[in-house]
Every structure is written in structure tokens, then in C-alpha cells.
Structure 1
């Protein structure tokens, strides 16, 4: 590991990304001892980084924003479809009425997310016609940023 780091520095490399598959977990201690820092983890791997120059690292941080959507579904009588929260992470919100919606899957765009969430929660087929509102806030779930699109 140390000779590889020296070679990378000699070649002018500045940032190193080290992806350890789950079956290589025994190497985590050695990587951390060599100056690597945790970046993120999934079920299949642990990603570490090391910034080689003695300056603050500009490497991008882990993904830090969750994306959620709410669908404003309006029928021919101009009535808005609402759903009652059955299972809420917050006791305060349990049983409250809300727009059907939820979190986007990785790689899913707003239109696909709102169509999927409305169908899952209500059985109604819907499609994106436009964006009514967008909220961006920080320090939400897991201390991350949150984007919510209606």
C-alpha cells in the first residue's frame, strides 16, 4: 500500500479512491492506517479516499441529498387526491393527511417517482404535468440535505 501511494504521488496523482468489496473487509484497518478515510458504504463495498497533498481535500463528499416527491392529483371536479399516513417515522405525523408521494429510487427522475408513488399509494395512474413547488432544506434525515418536489 505504501509503495503504491508513493508511486501515485510521484506520478502527480492527488486523489485516490479505494473501493473494497465486502469480501475484502480485512483490509480496512490497513487502508485507514495508510491515511484513507471512509467515504461511503453499500451492501457490497466500502469506499475510502485519500487526498495526497498536504492541503484540505476537495474530493466530493458522499451523496448528501435525498429526493422526495408529492403528487397533486386533481380529478374532473377539481378535487385533490389525499392519502392518510398509516405508517409514519414521526409519531406527530401518524394519521395525518398528505399528498401521495415518497422518496426517489437511485437514478429515478421526478416524473417517474411521482407516477410510481401515486400508483403505489392510491392505485391511480398519474403523470407529471409540471412542478408546483420545490423545497430544499438541510440537516434532515440522517443529517442530510433534502429536496422535495410537488
Structure 2
């Protein structure tokens, strides 16, 4: 059946054939790979395979998502000059770091960073602006990694740390964080961008817009005066 279908698709000059195979039908996978289908991506209960048909053209099927997106937060108390810092319960090092984590599917950067701060520290904080981002390759799952740093304004100050993920959490003077030997130099660099922000009051803010093709909501990030 598959062979006959492939012959017809080639005759009809189809370019790419996709199969989404549910876990209950996984017996199809070896049958497809025998016919030169390749894996494109997989979820917990489904694998997606494809075959590029034109023999005279290079395959132009884009790879699946190859970058992991994370968020970090500088939660700044303007009155005291303190920021919120954490030590991870299961972290590789015992260094103080900024609260944060991974963005969930379908989640905006602003919502993600507010959620991560609350989940890890119990502090409610609102997105103010983005300050910087870090880009690296060959990270978790072999993916590239983008990690954004945003400045947040706290609306509550009592710490109720997540006992499962966080070993310690406290408010620390920004200057102390930037000079503490138990803070990685990358985090000290990112924290220094807060000092620059306080000097020039510029940051990357967010505007809501609509995608011209899909007509779905999108977010536009741009440099603005705060």
C-alpha cells in the first residue's frame, strides 16, 4: 500500500510526504524507514517522519525547533537597591544566581519570567523591560540556547521559596551580587546591565500586534525609553 502510494505521489510531483505516527501505531515506523522516511521530530505519544520526493533537488525541509528558550529575572527593589537571588537545590554549583527557568510552549517571555520568579521565590513581580540575552550552542539535548534577562518590579517582598527546586533565596544588594565570588562572572556581567539601565533608563519593551498572515497575536520587542 505504501509503495503504491509513493509511486502515485511521485507521479503527481508531490514534494514532501509526512506521516504522524501515534505511539499505538508505532509498528509503522520500521515500515516507513525501510522506504527512506526520516525522523523529523517526536513528542511523548507521537513521532513525525517525512520523505523528500524530488530526486533532482536538495531537501529544503527545515529542521525542527533547535533552540531552547530560557528566562532570567533581575527583580529590583528600587528603594533598597536589592535584587532577588537564589541557590538551586540540585544545581551543579553552589553559586548565587538569578531566578528563572525555561519558557513553556505557547508562553510569552513576559509571562514566563513572572511565573518563574513566583514559582521559585513566592515573590510577585511584574515585567518592566528586557535588558540582555545570552546565546550559546550545543547545550541541553544538543540544542542551541537563548537566555533572556529582564528587569522586574516586585509588588510583594515576602520570600516563600520552592523547597523542591530552591535551597536558598534572599534579597541581596546589587553591588554585593556583582562583587560576590560565589556569583558566576556571566551573572555579574548581566547584573551590570541593571546599573546601565538605571543610568540611561533604556530597555527593551513589549508591544502587542497581530501577525499579518496568521492573524494571531504576537509580541514586538523594541528599545524604548523607560
CA apart distance, 1:40 = 1.3
Paired residues for 1:91-130 under 5 Å:
91=92, 93=93, 95-130=94-129
- Where does residue 87 of structure 2 map in the other structure? 84
SS in 1 for 2:114: helix
Structure 2's unaligned 5+ residue stretches are: 150-226
Secondary structure of the residue aligned to 1:2 is helix
Larger strand percent: 2
Q: Which residue does 1:30 correspond to in 2?
A: 31
Q: Which has the larger radius of gyration?
A: 2
- Distance in 2 between the 1:81 and 1:58 partners? 46
SS at match of 1:7: helix
* C-alpha distance in structure 1 between counterparts of 2:28 and 2:89, whole Å: 44
- Secondary structure of residue in 1 paired with 2:69: strand
Query: Post-superposition, which runs of at least 4 consecutive aligned residues in structure 1 deviate over 4 A?
Result: none
SS of the counterpart of 1:72? strand
Q: Distance in 1 between matches of 2:142 and 2:106?
A: 21
Q: Which residue does the alignment assign to 2:12?
A: 11
Q: Which moved more, 1:99-108 or 1:3-12?
A: 3-12
Aligned pair count reads 146
RMSD of Structure 2 on Structure 1 (CA): 1.1
Shift of 1:132: 0.7
- Where structure 1 has 5 or more consecutive residues not aligned to the other structure, the ranges are none
Indicate the residue corresponding to 1:135 in structure 2: 134
Instruction: Show CA shifts across 1:46-74 (max 9, x none).
Output: 11011001233110112111000001101
